[in-house]
Amino acid sequence: MLPNRVNTEAVKKSIGEYADTVSYEERGKIYEELIGFLPPRIEARLSVTGALDPRMVDLQEQMRTHGMYPKSFDVKTAQLMLFGMLLMDASDAAVLHAIAARRAGATWQEMQDTVNLCFLFRGLSAANRGAEIMANIAARELQEQAKSNGAAKE
């Protein structure tokens, strides 16, 4: 469902050390809170651009924060909207925003309603992809529950 991790050691050796004034861990924490992990492409951007142009990372993150958390919408609504927009565009980033929407409290019905809206204008490909994303998230959530139940028993 998700691509492989970035080899950050190779980035450090070949491109350089992360040099942003905000720590790599702090930058990653925002994504971990929203999605539950640091997505590989974002990991790559932080590692590479953070080494070569740390000011750009700062500007990107400021713009992302401003756009991602509008005052008009709660996080769940914004993430549902992003899921739908990205699903319409057939972007693989739709998965990340679907996960974020669930973590922010979106119900399966709200997710399906978002997919249904996409279907009206994008067709069966959006409906199929949206259902696939939701099915994979359901499996992922069950796997995480099983892990935390196993950890709680120990």
Tell whether the model's pLDDT for residue 151 goes beyond 80: no
Where b means 16+ CB within 10 Å and e means fewer, 42-57 reads: bbbbbbbbbbeebeeb
Q: Which of 87, 90, 86, 6 is nearest to 50 (CA)?
A: 6
Tell whether the model's pLDDT for residue 153 goes beyond 90: no
Domain-wise residue ranges, the chain: 8-68, 75-153
Q: How confident is the model at residue 120 (pLDDT cuts 50, 70, 90)?
A: very high
Q: How far is residue 120's CA from residue 21's CA, in Å, rounded to a whole number?
A: 45
**DSSP-assigned letters across all residues of 95-121:** HHHHHHHHHTT--HHHHHHHHHHHHHH
pLDDT tens, residue by residue, 121-131: 999 999 999 99
When pLDDT is averaged across residues 56-63 and rounded to a whole number, the result is: 97
DSSP code of 6? P
Q: How far is residue 8's CA from residue 43's CA, in Å, rounded to a whole number?
A: 8
pTM: 0.88
Fold of 75-153: AhpD-like (1.20.1290)
Res 5: pLDDT:
86
Res 2: pLDDT:
55
